[in-house]
Amino acid sequence: MLMLLRANKKHKVCVSIDENIGIDKEGNELTIRDIIPQKEEDDPDKVVERKVLMQEIVEKMKELLNEREFLIISLRYGVKDGVEHTQNEVATMLNISRSYVSRIENKALQLIKEDFKNGKYYDEYRLNKQ
């Protein structure tokens, strides 16, 4: 029983991150969450949005590229596991020359770039850059 009382005593000083702490200049209620700077990767909406977009990109790349092109781009830019590899590392993994990796990579990037300019994301990208 004593342990329970000690535990409850500790929790009495806990404050919710969503607790109202005041009002801003426009009259909106402020919470602790509102004033704590958040990293983008901490925002669950941004994380889900990024994962969905990444899945769309992977599917589009699979449509555009052959297996070898997709594999090289995936390894070079960490598409699958977030680990980016150098051209030399990719060449060693695939038992081909670094210059061949470079040629395949450049061709694949050109295909992706052309499709991007003709696709649904290009207008959004241009608007966001302005």
Is 8 in the same domain as 68?
A: no
Length of the chain: 130
* 93 confidence band (pLDDT: 50, 70, 90): very high
pTM for the predicted model, two decimal places: 0.59
The tens digit of pLDDT for each residue in 71-91 reads 999 999 998 888 999 999 999
Is 28 in the same domain as 46?
A: no
Domains of the chain: total: 2
Domain that holds residue 20: 2-35
Buried residues in 88-123 as b, exposed as e (16+ CB within 10 A): eebbeeeeeeeeebeebbeebbebbeebeeeeeeee
